Chains A and B, each alone.
Chain A
Amino acid sequence: KNEVEQSPQNLTAQEGEFITINCSYSVGISALHWLQQHPGGGIVSLFMLSSGKKKHGRLIATINIQEKHSSLHITASHPRDSAVYICAVNQGAQKLVFGQGTRLTINP
Chain B
Amino acid sequence: GAGVSQSPSNKVTEKGKDVELRCDPISGHTALYWYRQSLGQGLEFLIYFQGNSAPDKSGLPSDRFSAERTGGSVSTLTIQRTQQEDSAVYLCASSLGAGGNYGYTFGSGTRLTVV
List residues of chain A with CB under 8 Å of any chain B CB: 2, 30-31, 33, 35, 40-45, 48, 86, 88, 90, 92-101
Contacts and interface: CB of A to CB of B under 8 A. Distances in A.
A94 B31 contact: yes
Secondary structure at chain B's binding surface: helix, strand, loop or mixed? strand
Nearest to B98: A93
22 contacts: A2-B42, A31-B101, A41-B108, A41-B111, A42-B108, A42-B109, A43-B93, A43-B106, A45-B105, A86-B42, A86-B43, A88-B43, A92-B100, A94-B48, A94-B99, A95-B33, A95-B56, A96-B43, A96-B45, A98-B42, A98-B44, A100-B42
B26 interface: no
A93 B100 contact: yes
Given A93-B98, A98-B44, 11 more contacts: A30-B100, A33-B104, A42-B107, A45-B103, A86-B42, A93-B101, A94-B31, A94-B56, A96-B45, A96-B99, A100-B42
A4 B56 CA distance: 22
Contacts of B99: 90, 93-94, 96
